[in-house]
């Protein structure tokens, strides 16, 4: 741990400081606007520091520190190359348990955008909700996910994941004081604890097999395990357990059961939170651990991910067809989308196992793009639901939306945009996401004798994915139809708060923008995916120990900023 | 102010477009009762600009003739074109090997190679366009003024003016564009406007049906037109009228009607391909200009407001086909058989529509069939293929626009006064109630019948004369057509004056719908009538004087090239004095017969009725009043089989295809029903399933091969 590491954690620290401030101040000042403003400000400041980090550390031609770091990465410290690359550095070495690369940057940016939307949605909570507590806890959950994105060490990773989970329990509890809500909270609590235990069990096996908690060392150790030794089997067991534990967060079948009940029981804002934060955390952790730290396991891992993807998306979509409660419907929708994201994971694992993707589609990049599109559309939908409802009369069933195409045209238009994007209709963000994933699955070429069989599996995966997209249109378009072609049954006031309205509009604009101009996000996702495969910080640790003077100089000048 | 002709060419269509958009946006909320103002302003301004354009072109014609005596080479005709922007440019890398040979284009291979598909938005000005622009904007200005009175108080007042402006925009663009693809675009655009205006009173089922019929019949013609365009494209490798200049001033691509081809007419493709192109284009023209067998929509189109009938279905839009055939004269000349087809269709349509018109009892329908008949005359003139014939056809288009608009507006005036009744059996003797309408109708009738010195005399006589010349050259077809056209002239005079006498003479009879205060129309309606009446009287003689019209029109590139100019009959060489006298006699005898039967105390109608009661006469009468049963025949041969096919297809789709689709849809739902039953709500169960799932995953590890 050094000052440099601390610099890298600055955005997270901003959030934690703000959360602490809100907790303490909230005791004395029970205002609502104040704390919402501070929370929004905290997210923005965090984004600002993250931006500073990005420009300083990843663009070598803008800062000497980054030059030195880049040089250190290339193993030629002290001799700075005069020609700077026109592209950002993919991965920057820092000592300690962090992996500072574009992958973590991408995820952190995404988390901050989504976090801002969550804070906006929470600006007008029910009067009986303890607003400061809610906002502070929300910031902590966001921080947890950002830590997951940067962790390259099992303990930190676990802490990050728990920092998502534990605040989520509190948020669920704070959301609404009804029997249903309490039941949902209890369910989520028990099942989440169970999954964490399973995951931790997996981590311990992994540690036992590899002898280290650092992912890079685990990579070396697992890659070097003798095939005949029993350790290999332990490593595999740990893989399964980690998959099972994180599968809960990704809502993979059969670990998905909590989602519909919990979403239905809690508020729309909490449901939005649940549909994005744990899912993103689980996927990021899976990419970090399985595709990076467990060489030799990928073949098994992609089979696992592929089967889970098939089952998960199919179950989510077909059961969603039956739902009338809007949050329950979106719960199944989120299960289905978890399945789609597992497609990307399967492609990524297959890629890591030695398959070459003929057309350059990358599984991790596809997944990263998809999760951004999904997160925007889903949180936007929940924001619209909050905006249309009222604390004492929230939108419950799909039929409540009847006729809003006439009464609230802009909200209806935004909702329609989200529904079309989630279905995957061009030219919206969701279309490009699905295109990436399915094209990635179709372009996989596996080596060896079993390659053809594997290829058929991936073609099957893509075909089932497309069929599922068609099935999902059944319930998404039903919502659009209800909004526009049915007359309203109850008078909706649309007084769920300006913040929610703003969040909705922001999401809609982003979904349309990404749909029309997918290139920037695509480039970012590609670079992030590329950087996730690099050894990154671990490699430079050794260099750092050999050449302490340079790195400490780096650290000093960073700290001096 | 308008020293640059390019500005004129852009402004003439732009003003009506602006007015259409403005009226559409603000008509309902802001303009309301004043919705006519933007349209009238824009149209009158467009007319003034069109006059400027006309004079500019005339100046260029004079320049050409003064300079051509000394110059070794001069351009074929007068044309100005101005490319605004390139609409579509596809396949820049391909060049057809034959189209560019040192600036000298060769006919492209019929099989077709890789051409550049470039559609330029190019506006052109030449004598033909200038004449059409003046005519369209003048008539439409008057009609829009007339509409202030006629449409007063209508619920869709602003809608009417928005549509009219849009129509004028489309029509001015149609005659201005210099590209077949754009011609097609605006061809469709005027069709859409016509559809909107026929169905203007869409609550009326007959109006909605008429709009649909017009649109569908036009689509049949457009289908042919589109095929014609495809053929033109593969044959000539461009759709531009004009030559596209390359950077060094050499023609890069020889336009279909451009200087390169006109200077060397052997570059036009004849034979089967040429014939096919011409027949396809003719199909399109027949649809728009209501020629047999696609004439059935025009009489039904009278369901629209009468100003619309006057503007679109008599004076302007229906002449688009005539315009197009004239524009494509070089193509038709290259394929002589196609010209005979044009002439035959024109002559036959003229006769057929004339025969139908004599028994119609609906005043507007008489005029509608007369329009079809007169359009037939125009096609007949174009089909002669000589400069005299073509310019006579265009001249008839020009004069007909004025007197037919006049007749329709006068009929509208009658209809307005009679409370919407237009059946001639239900009113008569209106000459004292509506004196202005009566005398303007007289002028229109005399012009339509072709009585000296009214406008129709000059143009119709020119057509018959041109056909006569061709007949005298020994062609059986044209001899038949010559006599048919003379007989049609007789019919024309008869049915026109039958309508006049039935409406304005005899015992005064007013239908109850008119109320007690049947009176002359307001001056805002009679004023355009009077102007048009003056035109109907004078416009023929003025322009026929020293062959001004034909001479001016002959400078259009499509008509100015050597092949056509060779057919020109020099002034004075042939004068059709004898023929003129004969045709006047024919017209007057038609008038006389009508007067004999219908003027006075109707005692002669008894005789007529007696003749018609005889079995043979009855059958003839029914044939005519039943419009030769063309609609029922179409119903039986085309509509009914299509409906049967549609019903069968619907059944298959409904019960077989949909059934399969629904089955596919039910599978996921059923699947979902099974899966959702697992959602018990018990947290213990959920935990159990999670653990079981984990155990299953661990179990797969044992099954997984080592390594």
What is the DSSP secondary-structure string of B571-602?
TTTS--HHHHHHHHHHHHHHHHHHHHHHSSSS
Distance of CA A358 to the CA centre of its chain: 27
In total, the C-beta contacts within 8 angstroms joining chain A to chain B are: 79
B672/A227 Cβ within 8 A: no
B687/A318 Cβ within 8 A: no
As given in the structure block, the two tokens for residue B351 are 């006769």
Instruction: Give the distance from residue B669's alpha carbon to the nearest chain A alpha carbon, in angstroms.
Output: 6
Please answer whether residues A14 and A49 qualify as being in contact, where contact means their C-beta atoms are separated by less than 8 angstroms: yes
Q: Say yes or no to pLDDT of B434 above 60.
A: yes
Cα B447 to Cα B454, B580, B592, B595, distances in angstroms: 5, 14, 16, 17
Mutate to test the interface with B, among A240, A248, A258 (most CBs of B within 10 A): A240
pLDDT score for B705? 66
pLDDT score for B36? 86
As given in the structure block, the two tokens for residue B562 are 């050597």
Cα A544 to Cα A69, A79, A96, A540, B134, distances in angstroms: 10, 15, 11, 6, 87
Q: Say yes or no to pLDDT of A244 above 60.
A: yes
From A312, A306, A317, A253, select the one nearest A470 (Cα to Cα): A317
| Composition of chain B by helix, strand, coil, percent to 5 | 75, 5, 25
Task: For residue A322, list chain B residues with Cβ-Cβ distance below 8 A.
Answer: 669, 672-673, 676
Q: Which residue bears the tokens 């955390």?
A: A281
What is the average pLDDT score of chain B?
82
Percent of chain B with pLDDT over 70: 90
User: What is the mean predicted confidence (pLDDT) over A88-99?
Assistant: 80
pLDDT score for A34? 86
How crowded is the C-beta side of A549, counted as CA atoms within 13 Å?
Answer: 2
Task: For residue A319, list chain B residues with Cβ-Cβ distance below 8 A.
Answer: 672, 675-676, 679
From A247, A529, A248, A514, select the one nearest A368 (Cα to Cα): A529
More confidently predicted of A550 and A128: A128
3-class SS string, B605-617 = HHHHHHHHHCHHH
Nearest CA in chain B to A307: B697
Mutate to test the interface with A, among B663, B665, B668 (most CBs of A within 10 A): B668
- In DSSP terms, B240 is beta-bridged to B179
pLDDT band at A367 (very low <50, low <70, confident <90, very high): very high
Summarised one tens digit per residue, pLDDT across range A486-540 is 887 777 777 778 889 999 999 999 999 999 888 889 888 988 888 887 775 433 3
Q: Say yes or no to pLDDT of B107 above 50.
A: no
| Residues contacting residue B197 through CB under 8 Å, at least 6 positions apart | B160, B163, B164, B167, B304, B305, B308, B312
Instruction: Give the distance from residue B640's alpha carbon to the nearest chain A alpha carbon, in angstroms.
Output: 35
Let me know how long chain A is.
561
More confidently predicted of B69 and A325: A325
Nearest CA in chain B to A236: B701
Instruction: Give the distance from residue A199's alpha carbon to the nearest chain B alpha carbon, in angstroms.
Output: 11
Q: Say yes or no to pLDDT of B105 above 80.
A: no
Task: Return the DSSP state at B74.
Answer: -
As given in the structure block, the two tokens for residue A554 are 């780096």
Task: For residue A187, list chain B residues with Cβ-Cβ distance below 8 A.
Answer: 683, 686
As given in the structure block, the two tokens for residue A105 are 């940057």
pLDDT score for A545? 36
pLDDT band at B655 (very low <50, low <70, confident <90, very high): confident
pLDDT score for B1? 45
As given in the structure block, the two tokens for residue A243 are 């998959």
Please answer whether residues B12 and B53 qualify as being in contact, where contact means their C-beta atoms are separated by less than 8 angstroms: yes
Task: For residue A257, list chain B residues with Cβ-Cβ distance below 8 A.
Answer: 678-679, 685-686, 689-690
Range with top average pLDDT, A38-42, A73-77, B155-159:
A38-42
Alpha helices, DSSP H, located in A267-355: 268-286, 298-320, 326-352
What is the average pLDDT score of chain A?
84
Task: Return the DSSP state at B107.
Answer: P
Classified as helix, coil or strand, B152 is coil
How crowded is the C-beta side of A406, counted as CA atoms within 13 Å?
Answer: 12
A315/B690 Cβ within 8 A: no
Task: For residue B676, list chain A residues with Cβ-Cβ distance below 8 A.
Answer: 319, 322
For the four alpha carbons of A446, A452, A457 and A460, in that order, the dihedral sign comes to positive
Please answer whether residues A424 and A336 qualify as being in contact, where contact means their C-beta atoms are separated by less than 8 angstroms: no
Q: Which of A187, A227, A237 sits opposite B707 (nearest CB)?
A: A227
Summarised one tens digit per residue, pLDDT across range B622-642 is 777 777 788 888 888 888 888
Tell me which residues of chain B have a C-beta less than 8 Å from any C-beta of chain A.
665, 668-669, 671-673, 675-676, 678-679, 681, 683, 685-687, 689-694, 697-698, 700-701, 704, 706-707
φ/ψ bin of B290: left (φ > 0), alpha (ψ from -120 to 50), beta (otherwise): left
B690/A195 Cβ within 8 A: yes
Task: For residue A320, list chain B residues with Cβ-Cβ distance below 8 A.
Answer: 672
Among A444-448, B362-366, B457-461, B692-696, the least confident range:
A444-448
Q: Say yes or no to pLDDT of A360 above 80.
A: no
Mutate to test the interface with B, among A172, A319, A324, A449 (most CBs of B within 10 A): A319
Instruction: Give the distance from residue A244's alpha carbon to the nearest chain B alpha carbon, in angstroms.
Output: 6
B689/A244 Cβ within 8 A: no
Please answer whether residues A60 and A91 qualify as being in contact, where contact means their C-beta atoms are separated by less than 8 angstroms: no
Task: For residue B664, list chain A residues with Cβ-Cβ distance below 8 A.
Answer: none
B673/A322 Cβ within 8 A: yes
Phi, psi (degrees; rounded to nearest 5) at B249:
85, -5
Q: Which of A236, A257, A314 sits opposite B679 (nearest CB)?
A: A257
Instruction: Give the distance from residue B298's alpha carbon to the nearest chain A alpha carbon, in angstroms.
Output: 39
| Residues contacting residue B70 through CB under 8 Å, at least 6 positions apart | none
Summarised one tens digit per residue, pLDDT across range B310-357 is 888 888 888 899 999 999 988 888 888 888 899 999 999 999 999 888
Task: For residue B678, list chain A residues with Cβ-Cβ distance below 8 A.
Answer: 257
Cα A29 to Cα A22, A24, A130, A365, B275, distances in angstroms: 9, 9, 11, 45, 91
Q: Which residue bears the tokens 């400490």?
A: A552
Task: For residue B689, list chain A residues with Cβ-Cβ distance below 8 A.
Answer: 254, 257
Q: Residues of A numbered 250-269 whose beta carbons fall under 8 angstroms of chain B's beta carbons: which are they? A: 253-255, 257-258, 260-261
ipTM of model: 0.83
User: What is the mean predicted confidence (pLDDT) over B692-706?
Assistant: 82
Q: Which of A233, A236, A255 sits opposite B693 (nearest CB)?
A: A255
Q: Say yes or no to pLDDT of A69 above 70.
A: no
| C-alpha to C-alpha distance for B665 and B662, rounded to whole angstroms | 5
More confidently predicted of B445 and B676: B445
pLDDT score for B706? 53
From B211, B122, B133, B117, select the one nearest B175 (Cα to Cα): B133
From B407, B351, B589, B584, select the one nearest B597 (Cα to Cα): B589
pLDDT band at B593 (very low <50, low <70, confident <90, very high): confident
Cα B160 to Cα A20, A79, A203, B153, B188, distances in angstroms: 69, 80, 77, 12, 19
Summarised one tens digit per residue, pLDDT across range B44-89 is 999 999 999 988 888 888 888 777 655 545 577 788 888 887 777 6
Percent of chain B with pLDDT over 90: 15
Q: Say yes or no to pLDDT of A17 above 50.
A: yes
pLDDT band at A174 (very low <50, low <70, confident <90, very high): confident
B707/A190 Cβ within 8 A: no
Distance of CA A196 to the CA centre of its chain: 17
A261/B679 Cβ within 8 A: yes
| C-alpha to C-alpha distance for A193 and A181, rounded to whole angstroms | 18
Q: Which of B676, B681, B685 sits opposite A319 (nearest CB)?
A: B676
Mutate to test the interface with A, among B691, B694, B706 (most CBs of A within 10 A): B694
Task: For residue A254, list chain B residues with Cβ-Cβ distance below 8 A.
Answer: 689-690, 692-693
| Residues contacting residue A156 through CB under 8 Å, at least 6 positions apart | A97, A98, A147
pLDDT band at A21 (very low <50, low <70, confident <90, very high): very high
Asked if A202 is an interface residue toward chain B (Cβ–Cβ < 8 A), one would say no
Instruction: Give the distance from residue B691's alpha carbon to the nearest chain A alpha carbon, in angstroms.
Output: 9
Summarised one tens digit per residue, pLDDT across range A336-348 is 999 999 999 998 8
Q: Say yes or no to pLDDT of A104 above 70.
A: yes
Cis amide bond preceding A358, omega within 30: no
Which stretches of B460-547 are assigned E, i.e. beta strand? Answer: none
Task: For residue A260, list chain B residues with Cβ-Cβ distance below 8 A.
Answer: 679
Burial class (CB in 10 A: 0-12, 13-18, 19+), B667: exposed
A254/B687 Cβ within 8 A: no
Task: For residue B692, list chain A residues with Cβ-Cβ distance below 8 A.
Answer: 254
Task: For residue A318, list chain B residues with Cβ-Cβ distance below 8 A.
Answer: 668-669, 671-672, 675
From B12, B341, B348, select the one nearest B173 (Cα to Cα): B12
- In DSSP terms, A357 is beta-bridged to A444
Instruction: Give the distance from residue A330's alpha carbon to the nearest chain B alpha carbon, in angstroms.
Output: 15
pLDDT score for A553? 40
CB atoms within 10 A of CB A84: 15
For the four alpha carbons of B74, B77, B80 and B81, in that order, the dihedral sign comes to negative
Summarised one tens digit per residue, pLDDT across range B658-690 is 888 888 888 888 888 888 888 888 888 888 999
More confidently predicted of A348 and B92: A348
B687/A191 Cβ within 8 A: yes
Q: Say yes or no to pLDDT of B362 above 90.
A: no
Please answer whether residues A454 and A463 qualify as being in contact, where contact means their C-beta atoms are separated by less than 8 angstroms: no
Burial track B418-427 (b if 16+ CB lie within 10 A, e otherwise): beebbebeeb
Asked if A244 is an interface residue toward chain B (Cβ–Cβ < 8 A), one would say yes
More confidently predicted of B575 and B415: B415
Distance of CA A224 to the CA centre of its chain: 31
| Residues contacting residue B584 through CB under 8 Å, at least 6 positions apart | B450, B451, B452, B457
Asked if A106 is an interface residue toward chain B (Cβ–Cβ < 8 A), one would say no
Q: Residues of A numbered 474-503 whose beta carbons fall under 8 angstroms of chain B's beta carbons: which are they? A: 474
Angle, alpha carbons B411-B414-B420 (nearest 5°): 100
As given in the structure block, the two tokens for residue A84 are 């700077």
From A131, A104, A108, A128, select the one nearest A39 (Cα to Cα): A131
pLDDT score for A231? 79
Q: Say yes or no to pLDDT of A81 above 80.
A: no
pLDDT score for B102? 42
Instruction: Give the distance from residue B661's alpha carbon to the nearest chain A alpha carbon, in angstroms.
Output: 12
| C-alpha to C-alpha distance for A395 and A426, rounded to whole angstroms | 28
Summarised one tens digit per residue, pLDDT across range B160-171 is 899 999 999 999
| C-alpha to C-alpha distance for B471 and A270, rounded to whole angstroms | 92
Task: For residue B661, list chain A residues with Cβ-Cβ distance below 8 A.
Answer: none
| C-alpha to C-alpha distance for B440 and A532, rounded to whole angstroms | 89
More confidently predicted of B152 and B141: B141
Cα dihedral value A123, A124, A126, A130, nearest 10: 30
| Residues contacting residue A204 through CB under 8 Å, at least 6 positions apart | A238
pLDDT band at B600 (very low <50, low <70, confident <90, very high): low
């Amino acid at each position: 741990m050094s000052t440099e590491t601390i610099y890298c954690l600055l955005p997270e620290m901003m959030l934690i400081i703000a959360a602490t401030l809100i907790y303490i101040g909230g005791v004395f000042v029970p205002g609502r606007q104040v704390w919402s403003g501070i929370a929004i400000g905290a997210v923005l400041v965090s984004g600002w520091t993250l931006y500073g980090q990005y420009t300083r550390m990843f663009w070598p031609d803008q800062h000497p520190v980054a030059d030195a770091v880049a040089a250190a990465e290339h193993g030629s410290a002290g001799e700075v190359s005069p020609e700077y690359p026109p592209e950002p550095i993919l991965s920057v070495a820092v000592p300690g348990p962090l992996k500072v690369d574009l992958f973590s940057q991408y995820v952190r940016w995404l988390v901050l955008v989504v976090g801002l939307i969550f804070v906006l949605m929470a600006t007008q909570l029910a009067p009986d909700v303890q607003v400061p507590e809610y906002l502070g806890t929300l910031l902590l959950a966001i921080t947890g996910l950002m830590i997951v994105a940067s962790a390259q060490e099992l303990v930190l990773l676990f802490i990050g994941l728990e920092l998502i989970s534990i605040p989520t329990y509190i948020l669920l509890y704070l959301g609404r004081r009804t029997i249903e809500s309490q039941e949902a909270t209890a369910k989520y609590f028990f099942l989440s604890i169970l999954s964490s235990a399973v995951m931790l069990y997996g981590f311990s096996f992994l540690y036992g097999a590899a002898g280290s908690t650092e992912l890079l060392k685990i990579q070396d150790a697992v890659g070097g395990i003798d095939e005949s030794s029993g350790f290999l089997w332990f490593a595999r067991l740990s893989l399964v357990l980690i998959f099972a534990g994180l599968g809960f967060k990704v809502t993979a079948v059969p670990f998905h059961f909590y989602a519909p009940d919990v979403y239905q029981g809690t508020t729309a804002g909490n449901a939005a939170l649940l549909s994005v934060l744990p899912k993103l955390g689980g996927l990021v952790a899976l990419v970090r651990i399985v595709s990076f730290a467990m060489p030799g396991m990928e073949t098994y891992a992609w089979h696992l991910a592929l089967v889970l993807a098939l089952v998960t998306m199919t179950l989510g979509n077909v059961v969603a067809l039956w739902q009338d409660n809007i949050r329950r419907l979106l719960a199944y929708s989120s299960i289905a989308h978890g399945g789609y994201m597992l497609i990307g994971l399967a492609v990524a694992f297959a890629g890591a196992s030695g398959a070459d993707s003929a057309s350059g589609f990358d599984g991790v990049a596809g997944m990263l793009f998809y999760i951004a599109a999904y997160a925007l559309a889903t949180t936007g939908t929940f924001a619209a639901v909050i905006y249309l409802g009222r604390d004492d009369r929230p939108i419950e069933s799909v039929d409540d939306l009847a006729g809003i195409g006439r009464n609230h045209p802009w909200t209806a238009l935004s909702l329609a945009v989200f529904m079309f994007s989630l279905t995957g209709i061009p030219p919206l963000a969701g279309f490009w996401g699905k295109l990436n994933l399915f094209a990635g699955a179709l372009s996989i070429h596996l080596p060896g004798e079993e390659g053809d069989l594997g290829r058929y599996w991936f073609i099957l995966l893509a075909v089932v994915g497309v069929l599922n997209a068609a099935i999902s249109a059944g319930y998404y378009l039903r919502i659009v139809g209800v909004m526009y072609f049915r007359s309203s049954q109850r008078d909706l006031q649309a007084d769920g708060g300006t913040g929610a309205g703003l969040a909705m509009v922001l999401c809609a604009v982003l979904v349309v923008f990404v749909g029309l101009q997918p290139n920037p996000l695509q480039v970012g996702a590609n670079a992030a995916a590329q950087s996730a495969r690099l050894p990154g910080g671990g490699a430079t640790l050794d260099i750092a120990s050999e050449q302490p003077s340079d790195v400490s100089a780096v650290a000093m000048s960073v700290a001096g900023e | 102010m308008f020293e640059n002709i390019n500005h004129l060419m852009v402004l003439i269509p732009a003003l009506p477009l602006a007015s259409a958009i403005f009226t559409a946006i603000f008509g309902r909320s802001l303009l309301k009762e004043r919705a006519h103002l933007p349209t009238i302003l824009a149209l009158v301004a467009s007319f003034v600009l069109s006059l400027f354009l006309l004079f500019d072109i005339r100046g260029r014609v004079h320049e050409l003739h003064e300079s051509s005596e000394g110059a070794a080479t001069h351009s074929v005709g007068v044309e100005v074109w101005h490319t605004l922007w390139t609409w579509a440019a596809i396949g820049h890398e391909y060049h057809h090997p034959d189209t560019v040979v040192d600036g000298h284009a060769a006919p492209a291979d019929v099989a077709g190679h890789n051409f550049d598909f470039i559609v330029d938005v190019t506006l052109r000005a030449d004598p033909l366009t200038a004449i059409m622009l003046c005519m369209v904007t003048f008539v439409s200005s008057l009609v829009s003024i007339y509409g202030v009175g006629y449409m007063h108080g209508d619920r869709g007042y602003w809608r009417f003016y928005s549509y009219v402006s849009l129509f004028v925009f489309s029509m001015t663009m149609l005659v201005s564009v210099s590209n077949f693809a754009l011609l097609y675009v605006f061809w469709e655009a005027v069709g859409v406007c016509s559809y909107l205006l026929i169905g203007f009173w869409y609550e009326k089922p007959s109006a909605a049906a008429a709009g649909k019929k017009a649109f569908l019949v036009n689509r049949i013609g457009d289908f042919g037109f589109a095929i014609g365009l495809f053929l033109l494209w593969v044959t000539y490798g461009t759709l531009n009228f004009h030559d596209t200049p390359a950077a060094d001033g050499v023609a890069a691509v020889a336009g279909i009607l451009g200087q390169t081809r006109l200077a060397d007419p052997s570059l036009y493709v004849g034979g089967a391909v040429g014939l096919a192109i011409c027949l396809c284009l003719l199909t399109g023209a027949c649809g728009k200009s209501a020629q047999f067998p696609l004439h059935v929509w025009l009489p039904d189109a009278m369901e629209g407001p009468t100003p619309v009938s006057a503007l679109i279905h008599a004076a302007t839009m229906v002449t688009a086909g005539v315009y197009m055939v004239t524009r494509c004269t070089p193509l038709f000349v290259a394929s002589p058989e196609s010209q005979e087809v044009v002439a035959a269709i024109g002559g036959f349509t003229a006769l057929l529509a004339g025969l139908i018109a004599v028994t119609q009892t609906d005043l507007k329908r008489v005029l509608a069939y007369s329009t079809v008949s007169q359009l037939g005359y125009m096609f007949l003139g174009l089909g002669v293929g000589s400069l005299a014939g073509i310019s006579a056809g265009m001249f008839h288009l020009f004069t007909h626009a004025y007197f037919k608009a006049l007749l329709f507006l006068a009929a509208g005036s009658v209809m307005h006064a009679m409370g919407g009744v237009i059946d001639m059996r239900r009113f008569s003797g209106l000459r004292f109630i509506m004196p202005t309408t009566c005398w303007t109708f007289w002028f229109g009738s005399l012009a339509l019948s072709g009585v000296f010195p009214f406008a129709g005399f000059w143009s119709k006589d020119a057509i018959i004369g041109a056909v006569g010349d061709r007949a005298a050259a020994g062609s059986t077809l044209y001899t038949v057509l010559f006599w048919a056209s003379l007989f049609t002239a007789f019919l024309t005079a008869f049915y026109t004056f039958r309508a006049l006498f039935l409406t304005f003479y005899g015992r005064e009879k007013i239908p109850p719908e008119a109320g007690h205060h049947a009176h002359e129309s307001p001056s805002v309606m009679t004023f355009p009538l009077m102007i048009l009446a003056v035109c109907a009287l004078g416009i023929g003689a003025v322009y026929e004087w020293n062959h001004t019209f034909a001479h001016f029109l002959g400078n259009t590139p499509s008509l100015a090239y050597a092949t056509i100019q060779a057919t020109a009959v020099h002034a004075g060489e042939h004068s059709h004095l004898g023929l003129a006298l004969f045709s006047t006699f024919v017209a007057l005898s038609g008038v006389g017969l009508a007067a004999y039967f219908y003027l006075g105390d109707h005692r002669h109608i008894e005789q007529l009725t007696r003749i018609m009661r005889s079995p043979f006469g009855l059958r003839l009468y029914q044939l005519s009043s039943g419009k030769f049963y063309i609609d029922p025949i179409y119903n039986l041969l085309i509509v009914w089989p299509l409906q049967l096919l549609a019903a069968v297809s619907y059944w298959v789709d409904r019960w077989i295809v949909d059934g399969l689709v629904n089955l596919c849809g039910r599978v996921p739902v059923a699947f979902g029903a099974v899966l959702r039953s697992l959602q018990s709500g018990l947290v213990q169960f959920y935990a159990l399933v999670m653990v079981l799932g984990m155990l299953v995953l661990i179990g797969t590890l044992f099954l997984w091969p080592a390594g």
